[in-house]
Amino acid sequence: MTDIAMIRAAAARAMGRVRQTPLLTSPFLDEIAGRRVFVKAECLQHTGSFKFRGAWSALTGMPETERAGGVIAFSSGNHAQGVALAAKILGVRSVIIMPRDAPEMKIANTRALGAEVVLYDRASEDRDALGDRLSNDQNLTLVKPFDEPLVIAGQGTTGLEIAAQAREDGIENAQVLVPCGGGGLTSGVALALEAEAPGMVVRPCEPAGFDDAIRSLRTGRIERNAAMTGSICDAIITPSPGNLTFPIMKHLCQPGIAVSDEECLHAMALAFSRLKIVIEPGGAVALAAALFHADSLPEGDIIAVASGGNVDAEMFIKALETNV
Amino acid sequence: MTDIAMIRAAAARAMGRVRQTPLLTSPFLDEIAGRRVFVKAECLQHTGSFKFRGAWSALTGMPETERAGGVIAFSSGNHAQGVALAAKILGVRSVIIMPRDAPEMKIANTRALGAEVVLYDRASEDRDALGDRLSNDQNLTLVKPFDEPLVIAGQGTTGLEIAAQAREDGIENAQVLVPCGGGGLTSGVALALEAEAPGMVVRPCEPAGFDDAIRSLRTGRIERNAAMTGSICDAIITPSPGNLTFPIMKHLCQPGIAVSDEECLHAMALAFSRLKIVIEPGGAVALAAALFHADSLPEGDIIAVASGGNVDAEMFIKALETNV
């Protein structure tokens, strides 16, 4: 089970490899939120999202004999790129299983990072069976996207940085808003801050209608999303929080915040004009919550994690055009 | 005259106020350039450009009695916002003289940062006379945009950071490409690197057709631009390099590189997709040179300064639409 010692160990392994991302501010955002807002720009991480942290932690934390045989992951997006780059740097083989209808650009990017991409048909093929077969036949170690202690530890290094940066900036208590898919980032950050900055309150943020983590926190047990499609925040939509991540969130997190697609697009446009960073829709849910739902939070500073920036030009243009 | 001691003193005054901006990389950009490219993301600086460094240095470096009376600056853009924010933080008055036809957004931003904006008519009013009158009548101290030792020292702190970050990343020798308007940033960076990283070669980058600094380096004396309008890189177009900045560049810089508007737009699109940062056209000239003119440079790593990100949505959309 992930604990603060595992997160610190992941941070030690990450030194010089994982980028320390800046905590950005703008007086214009403070004015919208009616309080100070700090944005942890994890979109500037290698491969454009925090997922590289978890992948690096998993690959450097597993036994060398396992790693040497190569790794395998299921992903159509950020986790794929994180695993591919980590494997490339470490000089080991990576196989990524992606749906045949994934965007051409994401497939190309994953291949360009050195991964062998295996495509499957969502309608006719069983992804898990394919993964098991490849993994067994070729001696590949599976790197899960969130429900894996080493991955949670890697994502938790984001929380260690937030704690250190908050200290430097004189922030003692804050609402820490985290985009939540399976809960790897949220639970890792919560564990890190529990140890390093106990004045911080961690809350998961999700797209409205796909708020499985928020509802799970409310009922105290794992709830599922009714659908997996229908939001522009597709990168952070999972069936439910994980069996490992949810107990951590249940223990450490306060109620979450759901935001609309329109609010995400607006937050993306404001991040463009005020912070000069590129955020993808799913990566913007926490900033959207900070800017447009601050009323529902106790007073004090807000730290919002901008978890990724892998958005195509078309969607980004839509964000700018609808919010000028 | 600015020297390394002045730059170090400016860095000491900047501690905790000026943001240390990251040095970003992407394997995809390395592939385009055919070598390693490091991007100093100065667009992430407060107010969206390096200009805040020089403004902060000038305001904190001038005698307190002068500062207390307030400051005045001429600018339609990045320098205005840098001076306004520095004055606001220090609790002193700032007056910014802007042309009446400046973009509404820039005027609004400068006002929102606490400055008193005085508009003048480019056709019928003498800007310098207006500035002299305001300055004399109201006891305001002029903060020049580049040809001022304290401002050059402030911009030079970018160079100190580059030297430290390059050491961390194991870069010993590199071509350091810097967007060049009046030469404040280029000369400051060159002075800092001469002292801290003598293996670095500094080169100014400019829009083709507005390459006054490049031509001045070639002839050895200050050359002027034939026109001041006609490039999308308007933020970095000045009549000529400065009387203080040019001798420094002449002493320390190697020949510069001119790039086309189209190359700037392409570099902006690649910074969007590969680095997740927003760069304005003038701020993209060095990255454009790194990506599309590496052939004209000696072998080795390139460090490109992305000097600012204050671009409106319309121009940014144009960059994305013409380069997908």
Please give the average per-residue pLDDT across B16-21, as a whole number.
Answer: 97
Tokens of A146: 């969130």
Q: B277 — contact with chain A (CB < 8 Å)?
A: yes
Tell me what the pLDDT averaged over chain B comes to.
95
Interface of A with B in 23-42 (CB under 8 A): 24-25, 27-28, 31, 41
Interface of B with A in 120-159 (CB under 8 A): none
Domains and CATH numbers, chain B: 4-50+148-321 (3.40.50.1100), 52-142 (3.40.50.1100)
Cβ neighbours of B317 in A, within 8 Å: 317, 320-321
Q: B321 — contact with chain A (CB < 8 Å)?
A: yes
Cβ contact A44–B21 (<8 Å): no
What single-letter amino acid sits at B181? G
Dist. CA B231–CA B282, nearest whole Å: 9
Q: A113 — contact with chain B (CB < 8 Å)?
A: yes
CA separation, residue A185 to residues A245, B37, B96 (Å): 9, 30, 44
Residue B323's pLDDT band (cuts 50, 70, 90)? confident
- pLDDT for B205 equals 98
Find the residue in A nearest to B15 (Cα): A168
Cβ contact A321–B309 (<8 Å): no
Buried b (16+ CB within 10 A) or exposed e, A85-109: bbbbbeebbbbbbbbeebeeebbeb
What single-letter amino acid sits at B18? V
Q: A108 — contact with chain B (CB < 8 Å)?
A: no
- pLDDT for B125 equals 87
Residue B199's pLDDT band (cuts 50, 70, 90)? very high
Cβ contact A276–B277 (<8 Å): yes
- pLDDT for A9 equals 98
- pLDDT for B101 equals 84
Cβ neighbours of B44 in A, within 8 Å: 22, 24, 41, 275-277
- Residue B98's SS3 state is strand
In chain B, what percentage of residues exceed pLDDT 70?
100
- pLDDT for A126 equals 86
Please give the average per-residue pLDDT across A155-184, as a whole number.
Answer: 97
- pLDDT for A102 equals 82
Most B CBs within 10 Å: which of A276, A314, A322, as the mutation test of the B interface? Answer: A276
Each residue's pLDDT tens digit, B150-195: 999 999 999 999 999 999 999 989 999 999 999 999 999 999 999 9
Cβ contact A112–B28 (<8 Å): yes
Task: Please determine, for residue B76, whether its predicted confidence score (pLDDT) is greater than 80.
Answer: no
**In terms of DSSP bridges, do strands B37-41 and B23-24 run parallel, antiparallel, or are they unpaired?**
antiparallel
Residue in B215, B217, B203 with CA at minimum distance from that of residue B304: B203
Residues 6+ positions from B161 with CB-CB distance below 8 Å: B20, B21, B40
Tokens of A179: 């985009």
**In terms of DSSP bridges, do strands B200-207 and B257-259 run parallel, antiparallel, or are they unpaired?**
parallel
Cβ neighbours of A106 in B, within 8 Å: none
Cβ contact B21–A22 (<8 Å): yes
Within 10 angstroms of residue B6's Cβ, the number of other Cβ atoms is: 20
Within 10 angstroms of residue B266's Cβ, the number of other Cβ atoms is: 21
Task: Please determine, for residue B324, whether its predicted confidence score (pLDDT) is greater than 70.
Answer: no
Beta strands in B163-297 (DSSP E): 174-179, 200-207, 257-259
- pLDDT for B23 equals 97
Cβ contact A313–B275 (<8 Å): no
Tokens of A7: 């997160």
Q: Provide the CA B194 distance to its chain's centre, in angstroms.
A: 19
Q: B44 — contact with chain A (CB < 8 Å)?
A: yes
Task: Please determine, for residue A52, whether its predicted confidence score (pLDDT) is greater than 90.
Answer: yes
Residue in A59, A277, A78, A284 with CA at minimum distance from that of residue A182: A78
CA separation, residue A261 to residues A236, A267, B193, B301 (Å): 13, 10, 46, 41
Task: Please determine, for residue A288, whether its predicted confidence score (pLDDT) is greater than 80.
Answer: yes
Task: Please determine, for residue A186, whether its predicted confidence score (pLDDT) is greater than 90.
Answer: yes
Cβ neighbours of A22 in B, within 8 Å: 19-22, 44
Q: Which secondary structure element, helix H or strand E, spans residue A206, and what is its range?
A: strand A200-207
Dist. CA B228–CA B238, nearest whole Å: 7
Please give the average per-residue pLDDT across B128-153, as a whole number.
Answer: 94
φ/ψ of B210, rounded to 5, equals -130, 45
Instruction: Supply the angle between the helices A149-168 and A4-14 in degrees, to the nearest 10.
Output: 80
Please give the average per-residue pLDDT across B191-202, as a whole number.
Answer: 97
Is there a contact between A269 and A324 (Cβ–Cβ < 8 Å)? Answer: yes
- pLDDT for A211 equals 97
Dist. CA B23–CA A102, nearest whole Å: 31
Dist. CA B149–CA B138, nearest whole Å: 24
CA of B279 vs chain A CAs: smallest distance (Å)? 7
- pLDDT for A324 equals 66
Is there a contact between B307 and B178 (Cβ–Cβ < 8 Å)? Answer: yes
- pLDDT for B126 equals 86
Task: Please determine, for residue A251, whether its predicted confidence score (pLDDT) is greater than 80.
Answer: yes
Residue A229's pLDDT band (cuts 50, 70, 90)? confident
In chain A, what percentage of residues exceed pLDDT 70?
100
Better-scored residue on pLDDT, B101 or B68: B68
Least confident piece of the model among A11-25, A83-97, A118-132, B14-28: A118-132
Locate tokens 């780059």: which residue?
Answer: A85
- pLDDT for B77 equals 86
Dist. CA A133–CA A125, nearest whole Å: 13
- pLDDT for B141 equals 96
Task: Please determine, for residue A103, whether its predicted confidence score (pLDDT) is greater than 90.
Answer: no
